[in-house]
């Protein structure tokens, strides 16, 4: 469908500022950790620390114990949802988003492994896996060994990937709890949270509105990129009477909630330190609202993803936190030279981040070489 030529145009910087506001990154929010996880429709959690880093950048007064307590009380949990990647979600979203996202991630991932599952009855695999992990949480290796007893000639990795794709499997605590360690052990969301998942999967319409509240203004393709789902145009069209419509500088149609904040493009955007794979950087088809084209391939190397930082609202470098018993060192590596004012603001933000996330008595912020 062609965009409406009468729709107002949002400049790149206006789009940037609106997105940062929705992401709680223009100013730290007073939301609780649980409410922030809900508002952001989950936090990337491929590793255990990124959800804590994400909230440290966004919430006023956040402490890692805030999220850790939610993990231990089962108010939030870790499971595969959008794009078949692990996210930390509220209990409610674990039970409703996973069914909605099934076709956008788990089903597509499963198709990649079907050739390695020749002769495997997937319905039986799902039933057997459910019985095993609901008896007690099972480490992945243990689940795999059980499944190999049933299908000894099957690919071992494909068996456990299939179980993860077919069932809403939660990574149980202590995995994901700040300051604690533990191997991945799995049970179903129903068993862990004591409630059934939504059947049938809910309509995408409500999630469209939530996506716009957290990531808008946005196009249909933007939401499809975030969710992994396709054919969302119908949902946006059903909602069109309730939405505002804009265009970006390239003429792409953008939808938004009428009462959502859209700050002036000159609104100051303080530096922010983000986790690796932060959803701010992954949730739009066109990432130029945050990622300058010259830096678009600089946030990872091979399989290694980097923590990143923003300056003036845009991706500007990477950072890392290294810790010993004596010292926590946060190193900033900009992609280009920074002016004195931006450097000073960035150091102040890094010191604040280190005060929240550092565990050693001595805490140091330093600049590394310009990241290549």
pLDDT in tens, 260-289: 999 999 999 999 999 999 999 999 999 999
Is residue 159 over pLDDT 80? yes
Output the CA angle 296-302-306, nearest 5 degrees.
Answer: 60
Tally of CB atoms within 10 A around 211? 22
Is residue 67 over pLDDT 60? yes
DSSP-derived letter for residue 372 is -
DSSP-derived letter for residue 224 is H
Percentage of residues in the chain having pLDDT higher than 90: 92
pLDDT in tens, 304-345: 889 999 999 999 999 999 999 999 999 999 999 999 999 999
As given in the structure block, the two tokens for residue 7 are 């729709």
Task: Note the pLDDT of residue 229.
Answer: 95
Higher pLDDT, 370 or 318: 318
Query: Could you check whether the bond before residue 200 is cis, i.e. omega within 30 degrees of 0?
Result: yes
365 vs 349: CA distance, rounded Å: 10
Which helix (DSSP H) or strand (DSSP E) does residue 348 occupy? Answer: helix 340-357
Is residue 3 over pLDDT 70? no
Contacts of 245 (CB under 8 A, 6+ apart): 3, 4, 7, 253, 254, 255, 256
Pairing of β 362-367 and β 327-334: parallel
Task: Note the pLDDT of residue 200.
Answer: 87
Is the CA virtual torsion 70, 76, 77, 80 positive or negative? negative
41 vs 35: CA distance, rounded Å: 10
- The DSSP bridge partners found for residue 312 are none
Is residue 252 over pLDDT 80? yes
Q: List, in sequence order, every beta strand (DSSP E) within 120-172.
A: 138-139, 169-171
Task: Note the pLDDT of residue 5.
Answer: 53
DSSP-derived letter for residue 241 is G
Task: Note the pLDDT of residue 371.
Answer: 60
pLDDT in tens, 161-193: 999 999 999 999 999 999 998 899 999 999 999
DSSP readout, 77-128? EEEE-GGG-EEEEEHHHHHHHHHHHGGGTHHHHHHHHGGGGTT--HHHHHHH
102 vs 167: CA distance, rounded Å: 10
Percentage of residues in the chain having pLDDT higher than 70: 98
Q: Of 45-49, 96-100, 367-371, which gets the smallest average pLDDT?
A: 367-371
As given in the structure block, the two tokens for residue 204 are 């995408």
pTM above 0.85, yes or no: yes
The Cα-based distances of 363 to 59, 248, 274, 325, 330 in angstroms read 21, 43, 19, 11, 8
Task: Note the pLDDT of residue 181.
Answer: 83
Average pLDDT over residues 96-103: 94
Classified as helix, coil or strand, 44 is: strand
């Amino acid at each position: 469908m062609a965009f409406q030529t009468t729709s107002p145009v949002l400049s790149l910087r206006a789009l940037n500022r609106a997105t940062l506001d929705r992401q709680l990154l223009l100013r730290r929010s007073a939301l609780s950790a649980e409410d922030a996880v809900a508002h952001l429709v989950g936090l990337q959690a491929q590793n255990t620390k990124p959800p804590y880093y994400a909230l440290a950048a966004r919430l006023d007064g956040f402490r890692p114990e805030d999220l850790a307590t939610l993990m231990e009380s089962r108010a939030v949990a870790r499971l595969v949802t959008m794009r078949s990647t692990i996210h930390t979600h509220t209990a409610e979203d674990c039970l409703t988003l996973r069914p909605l996202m099934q076709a956008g991630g788990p089903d597509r991932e499963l198709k990649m492994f079907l050739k390695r599952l020749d002769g495997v009855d997937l319905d039986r695999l799902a039933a057997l896996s459910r019985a095993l992990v609901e008896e007690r949480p099972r480490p992945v290796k243990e689940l795999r060994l059980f499944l190999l007893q049933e299908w000894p000639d099957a690919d071992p990795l494909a068996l456990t990937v299939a179980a993860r794709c077919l069932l809403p499997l939660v990574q149980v605590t202590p995995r994901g709890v700040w300051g604690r360690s533990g191997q991945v052990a799995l049970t179903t969301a129903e068993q862990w949270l004591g409630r059934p998942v939504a059947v049938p999967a809910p309509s995408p319409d409500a999630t469209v509105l939530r996506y716009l509240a957290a990531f808008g203004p946005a196009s249909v393709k933007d939401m499809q990129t975030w969710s992994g789902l396709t054919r969302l145009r119908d949902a946006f069209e059903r909602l069109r009477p309730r939405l505002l419509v804009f265009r970006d500088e390239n003429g792409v149609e953008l939808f938004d909630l009428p009462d959502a904040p859209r700050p002036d493009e000159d609104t100051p955007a303080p530096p922010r330190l983000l986790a690796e794979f932060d959803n701010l950087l992954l949730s739009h088809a066109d990432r130029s609202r945050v990622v300058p084209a010259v830096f678009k391939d600089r946030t990872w190397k091979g399989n290694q993803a980097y923590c990143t930082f923003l300056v003036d609202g845009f991706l500007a470098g990477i950072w890392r936190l290294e810790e010993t018993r004596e010292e926590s060192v946060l190193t900033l590596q900009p992609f280009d030279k920074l002016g004195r004012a931006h450097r000073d603001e960035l150091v102040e933000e890094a010191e604040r981040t280190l005060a929240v996330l550092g565990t050693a008595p001595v805490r140091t912020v330093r600049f590394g070489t310009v990241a290549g």
